[in-house]
Amino acid sequence: MTDGHSPSEGSLYIVPMSEADIPHLTKLEAICFSSPWSQQGLRDELYNPNAVFLVAKREENVLGYLGFYHILDQGDIANVAVFPEARRLGVASSLLRAAVDYAHSHGICRMTLEVRPSNIPALKLYEAFGFVEVGRRRRFYVKPDEDALILAREFSST
């Protein structure tokens, strides 16, 4: 988080990732993932025309982010991360809702993602948004070693 204010103060809003967000997201990556993205890796996504990286904020405090790739009519969610003190406050739901809204308005027919089977809160969230298991990648994750469940959601073309 950026300045120690309570994550429950003020209204939550979702914005595209900016250069100013990158140091906060790098910190979040280190907290959440065993193989975190670097500042340069995140910065590169600012200039990737297929990347859609959304940041959840409250009173200018970075609470979390979601990054996905939009290629033709497909979307692939790469990362969803929320600072521990902001979890269970609807941040991930708001980010996922923004990604789904983007999908609807930009002609995405299908979104996919990978998730650890042990990440029960994430699985419940994705299932609540209509994602279903369509496959498994054996020993996909390291530290700790774990399979990845492949989830997908189809969108109607209407």
Would residue 127 show up in a list of annotated catalytic residues for this protein? no
Neighbours of 25 (CB within 10 A): 24
SS3 151: strand
Closest Cα to residue 20, out of 51, 49, 42? 42
Among 114, 127, 141, 146, the one annotated catalytic: 114
Integer CA distances (angstroms), 97 to 43, 56, 91, 126, in order = 24, 11, 10, 10
Among 29, 45, 65, 126, the one annotated catalytic: 126
Report the first-to-last Cα separation within the chain, whole angstroms.
39
Would residue 126 show up in a list of annotated catalytic residues for this protein? yes
Phi-psi region of 139 (alpha: psi -120 to 50; beta: other; left: phi over 0): left
Instruction: Outline where DSSP puts E strands in 5-87.
Output: 12-16, 51-58, 61-71, 74-82
Q: Return d(Cα 65, Cα 110) in angstroms, integer.
A: 20
Active site residues: 114, 126
